[in-house]
Amino acid sequence: MNDDDFRERYGAIYEHSPWVAERARPQIDDRDDIDAVAAAMADSVNASSHDERLALIRQHPELAARVAAPLTSASKDEQASAGLDRCTPDEFDAFRRLNEAYRDKFGFPFVIAVRGRSRDEVLAEFRRRMDNDTSVEFDTAIAEIHKIARLRLAALKVLT
């Protein structure tokens, strides 16, 4: 696979962060093995600096935000799969308050792999994680980002 095809295929796996795929490129061959690609990309994130990982976390959108930066198509589909686009007014308000409190406390958005979860599960996890300290939450956000990437890679495999 040439570099342009590689960027087209893998550049958006990590939210607005094509550098992840670019750094993993030397470890990825054309066999398209999901596990190998996921591991190489996760390794490139894990080997990056704290500031780069923080920037990666900050690339993720707030959940169920009515007014926010435009979502990538993958994020829009993922949030819709959990029903976050169909919240009741009370649920939207709960997400708004939690998004604000979380960002104020941690300095980055709450990140969770929402695919396969319900709104209630996401809200419960949001509330539970508010009690974490910043270092635990930073590590949890990175782990969740890796889960999201793995799900996106699996979806690519289904499409090919």
* Positions marked catalytic: 60
Is 50:108 a contact under the CB 8 Å cutoff? no
Determine the Cα–Cα distance for residues 156 and 133; give it in Å rounded to an integer.
35
Residue matched to tokens 């696979």: 1
* Tokens read off for 152: 């996106």
Under DSSP, the state recorded for 61 is P
Residue matched to tokens 């550098």: 19
Is 144:113 a contact under the CB 8 Å cutoff? yes
* Tokens read off for 6: 């590689």
Nearest to 151 by CA among 52, 41, 58: 41
